[in-house]
Amino acid sequence: MLKRRTVSIVLLIVLSAAALWAAGSKEGAEESQALTLRVLSVYTPDHAVGPAVEQINQIFAETHPNVTIEMQTMGADDLKQVLRTDFDSGNPPGVFNIWADNSNLDFIEAGLWLDLSDALAADPAWEENFLPGAIDVHTYETSGVWGLPQASFVLGMYYNKDLFAEAGIDSPPETMEELYADIDRLKTLDGVTPWPIGNMDGWRSVHLFANLFYKLNGTAAATLAAERKIRHDGPEVVDTYKAMQDLVKTGAFGNQYTGLGYADEISLFNEGKSAIRFSGSWTLGEIDGVDAGFFPFPYYRDLPQYRGDWFAGFADSWGVAADMDPALEAAAIDYVKIWTGPEGSKIFAEVAKNIPAANADVDPEKTGDLFATVVSSMSGITNSEVDFATPERSKLVADQVGANAQAVLAMEMTPEEAAEKLQQVVDSE
């Protein structure tokens, strides 16, 4: 009995140790001669851009036969965490997705990201192919270019043409007043929520807040708030909260919106159960089975000067790690060049129906009418800003802006209460 038990335990230990040692040594044996470029990206196979990844990697492989791409994809939340941990532990990826955000300065000031200005200067064709403003997005008031955008976007209103016709609306609204009237008409439709918004996903209410803020105060006011030149409990902010709650009271959002999410907005719209979707142009690839049109976010009739102030800018971007082996660094830059160049941008637009940050010779057959409508409406932009909290330095304030937007939209706080709370957070910084 003892012998058998001991023998089996010893055997187990020996086998496990052997397996462990084998696992350990396998790593060593895999030291290849070729270079490996690790790309950390949100473009999972299920992402709208997912299918483009293979094509791009193919193009890269043709010109860089001795470089292997190690594609590591995950959701945006996980990615932000992994990115931070990777850099902070000294195991950085070569190329990675980022979004323009002041918190990127943590990496930049530590010298962990590559300044792409030299690479841009060395290839004027590539540099000039970017849309205006694209390159400035990742400067964060330094003299370097710390990332390059892949996608540009505008926020606006997508609508179901059939439902509009059914409700007796001839043409989409241009002013908020017209929108209110149209919402009333849409409410008469059976089984249709005029304009559901998924308040469970925090960024939905923040986007609405920002857009209303810009139409009431202009995009420049966001920067003023960040610079503390206007107060966060001032009339600019309070009026925006009031506007949000006014919209709720029209019944536009239906009565379930507090429990719905972004995915619900998509499915309700695609099934013809909602008439309007407030979303960014990345959603072009998500609209399916509906004859959809686009109209810009309405402006206030008495504030026509803000008609051209849009919530728009650049979204998914690429960054490159600093201090890499020169050959690897060149490969990384080339990789980004392919993605953000004319060829990559074309693939990006056609596969994901997403508006790229650079000029591309897009095939209108593949991208569709709606894409063209959105792009042409962009000529109406005079000023643009991304999120209200984009120029904001303090992440705590930015976070409270979001929490407030959610609470105000859910009618859990009055405009005054919310503004006061926000100012408190601002003051405590």
Partner 1 sequence: MRIFKKQYPAIAVFLLPGLVMYGYFFALPVLQTLLDSMFYWKGLSSSVVKEFVGPGNYVHLMTKDPYFWKAFGNTVYLMAVSLVLQVPLGFVLALILNSGIRGKHFFNVAFFMPYVLSATSVALMWRFLYHPEGLINQFLQLIGLSCFTNSWLADPSTNISAVALVAVWQGAGFLMILFLAGLVSIPNEILESCRIEGAGPSQVVFRVVIPMLRPVVITVVTLVMINSVKSFDIIWILTRGGPFHSTEVLTTWMYQLGFNLSQPARGTAVAGFIFMFVLLLNVLIRKVSNKDLVEY
Partner 2 sequence: MIENRKPVFHLLNRLIVGLVLAVMFVVFIYPLILTLIVSFKVKTEVWGNFFGLPENLQFHNYSDAWKQGHIGTAFFNSFYITIITMSFQIILSSMISFVIARVRIRYSNVLFLFITAGVMIPIHAILLPVARRAVHLGLSDSHFYLICVYIAGGIPWLVFLMTSYMQSIPGTLEEASIIDGCGLFQMFSRVTLPLSKPILLTSAIIMFIGSYNELLIAIVLLNSQAKKTIPLALSAFVGYHDVNFPLMSAAIIISIIPTLFVYLLFQEKVEQGLTAGAVKG
Distance CA 400, CA 198 (A): 19
Distance CA 97, CA 203 (A): 19
Question: Which residues, in sequence order, are CB contacts of 328 under 8 Å at separation 6+?
Answer: 35, 37, 67, 94
Strand, helix or coil at 150?
coil
- Min CB(91)–partner 2 separation in Å: 5
- Min CB(81)–partner 1 separation in Å: 5
Residue closer to partner 2 (CB basis): 37 or 389: 37
428 touches partner 2 (CB under 8 A) = no
The C-alpha R_g of the chain, in whole angstroms, comes to 25
- Min CB(128)–partner 1 separation in Å: 34
- Min CB(78)–partner 2 separation in Å: 6
- Min CB(311)–partner 2 separation in Å: 17
Residue 259 binding target from partner 1, partner 2, none, CB below 5 to 8 Å by type:
partner 1
Which of residues 31, 46, 62, 302 is near partner 2 by CB under 8 A?
46
Residue closer to partner 1 (CB basis): 133 or 202: 202
Distance CA 385, CA 314 (A): 10
Residue 12 binding target from partner 2, partner 1, none, CB below 5 to 8 Å by type:
partner 2
Distance CA 353, CA 346 (A): 10
Residue 139 CA to its chain's centroid (Å): 18
Residue 42 binding target from partner 1, partner 2, none, CB below 5 to 8 Å by type:
partner 2
Residue closer to partner 2 (CB basis): 117 or 267: 267
Site string for partner 2, 91-130 (x = CB under 8 A): x-x-------------------------------------
Cβ pair 400, 423 in contact under 8 A? no
Length of the chain: 429
Residue closer to partner 2 (CB basis): 386 or 418: 386
Per CB under 8 A, contacts with partner 2 among 340-399 are none
- Min CB(338)–partner 2 separation in Å: 20
Residue closer to partner 2 (CB basis): 73 or 219: 73
Pick from 306, 319, 297, 273: nearest CA to 86 = 319
41 touches partner 2 (CB under 8 A) = no
**Residue-by-residue DSSP string for 180-230:** HHHHHHHHTSTT-BSS---TTSHHHHHHHHHHHHHHHH-THHHHHHHTTSS
Where does this chain bind partner 1 (CB under 8 A)? 80-81, 84, 87-90, 103, 105-107, 109-112, 199-200, 202, 256, 258-260, 264, 395-396, 399-400, 403-404, 406-407, 410, 412, 424-425, 428
Cβ pair 35, 325 in contact under 8 A? yes
Residue 367 binding target from partner 2, partner 1, none, CB below 5 to 8 Å by type:
none
Residue 265 CA to its chain's centroid (Å): 17
- Min CB(252)–partner 1 separation in Å: 17
CA atoms within 13 A on the CB side of 234: 13
Residue closer to partner 2 (CB basis): 17 or 181: 17
Phi, psi (5° rounding) for residue 100?
-65, 120
| One-letter amino acid of 315 | A
Residue closer to partner 2 (CB basis): 88 or 109: 88
Residue closer to partner 1 (CB basis): 104 or 129: 104
- How far CA 355 is from CA of 9, 63, 283, 313, in Å, comes to 62, 26, 10, 11
Site string for partner 2, 197-236 (x = CB under 8 A): ----x-----------------------------------
> How many DSSP H helices and E strands does the chain contain?
17, 10
Distance CA 362, CA 347 (A): 8
Strand, helix or coil at 38?
strand
Residue closer to partner 2 (CB basis): 162 or 271: 271
Per CB under 8 A, contacts with partner 2 among 229-288 are 261-264, 266-267, 270-271, 282, 288
Residues interacting with partner 2, by CB under 8 A? 1-2, 5-6, 9, 12-13, 16, 19-20, 23-24, 27, 38, 42, 44-50, 70-76, 78, 81-82, 85-86, 88-91, 93, 201, 261-264, 266-267, 270-271, 282, 288-289
